[in-house]
Amino acid sequence: MTGPSSPRPLVVCTEVTRRYGSDGGPFTADGRTVTALDSVSLDVAGGEVVGVAGPSGSGKSTLLHLLAGLDTPTRGEIEVCGTTVGALSRRRRTAFRRENVGMVFQRFHLLPALTARENVALPLVQAGVARSDRRSRASELLAAVGLDDRGSHYPSALSGGEQQRVAIARALAADPAVVIADEPTGELDRETGERVLDLLTDVSDGRAIVVASHDEYTLGRTDRVVRLRDGARQ
């Protein structure tokens, strides 16, 4: 696991292109090649919160998925915590993501069958952490996001803001160096969204945090903003 206080950029994207269609990527419905991301370069240092802005279809989600190792670039290179993600096998990418990248989604994506505490502990299950350690780590993180009394509640019993805080706690469970948040306030009202953003910036100490949003208020809370249009930087 890479520590959160690394001096060099934790995320380095160099001329990253992602195409869907004829050149190895999944085919589009009409068989045409679509360039979702076109020669995008980006560095994010530890302790920095970077916003990724752009309208729908601009390539925000594609970029985030590439950074998280959920997808691989057609061209260019992505280095996260000193590792070239695209060079890893699928299995190693999964392990790499588990250890180095935390993800926060717009729709929270908590497992409805598990309690808040169990959801937070989920990444630690795969990491092979002992059950008692998982439990104490999850409780510690829930306390950090202000939900220490909601650990045994199921997601259906939590408000949207509370669910997103659980999701943030889950993203931090494995103490990742990089946190990627895709529209983290998209489903929340302004007040709740603001609390979630406070939380994200609070945990940024030493971590590289990338937040994709089309909401200017959310983007205004980041250190700098990278704007995308039609897959390219503006």
Partner 1 sequence: MTRIAVRQLRSDRMRTVFAVVGVALAVLSVTLLAGVGAGVVSTGNEMFDESGRDLWVSGGPIDIAPGSVGGFRNPIPNAHPLAEEIAAHEDVETAVPMAFQVVYVSTDGEGFETTVGSGVPGAGGSSVSIREGEGLTGPNTHYADGTYEGEMTRQAIVSPETAEEFDLSVGDTVHVGGTIANARRNEFEVVGISPTFENFLGTGTVTIRLSELQTLTGNAYDDRATLITIQTAPGANPEAVRDELAAEHPEYTFRTNQEQLVSLLERQAVVLAAGVSLVGLGVIAGGVLSLNVLLSMIYIQRRSLSILRAVGATRRSVVGIALVESLAIAAAGYLLAIAVTPLLAGSLNRIAFAVTGFEGLVRVPTYAYLAGAGVACGFALLGGTLGAWRVGRVASVSALER
Residues in touch with partner 1 (CB under 8 A): 61, 65, 68, 70-71, 90-91, 94-95, 97-99, 103, 105, 107, 109-114, 118, 122-123, 125-127, 170, 174
Nearest distance from residue 66's CB to partner 1, in Å?
10
Is the separation of the CB atoms in 182 and 127 below 8 Å? no
Percent helix, strand, coil in the chain, to 5, is 35, 25, 40
What is d(CA 59, CA 182) in angstroms, rounded to the nearest whole number? Answer: 12
Classified as helix, coil or strand, 28 is coil
Instruction: Select 83 or 94, whichever has its Cβ closest to partner 1.
Output: 94
CB of 126 to partner 1, least distance (A): 5
Q: Which helix (H) or strand (E) holds 229?
A: strand 224-229
Give me the helix-helix angle, 160-172 and 131-144, nearest 10°. 130
Q: How far is the CB of 90 from partner 1 (least distance, A)?
A: 8
* Residue 64 beta carbon to partner 1: minimum distance, rounded to whole angstroms: 10
Find, among 48, 50, 25, 49, the residue nearest to 35 by Cα. 25
User: Which one, 65 or 207, has the nearer CB to partner 1?
Assistant: 65
By C-beta, is 110 or 158 nearer to partner 1?
110
For residue 52, the minimal CB distance to partner 1 (Å) is 16
Placement of tokens 């190895």 in the chain: 24
Closer residue to partner 1, CB minimum distance, 108 or 215: 108
End-to-end CA distance of the chain: 34
Token match 């290179």: residue?
A: 77
- Looking at the Cβ atoms of 113 and 130, the one nearer to partner 1 is 113
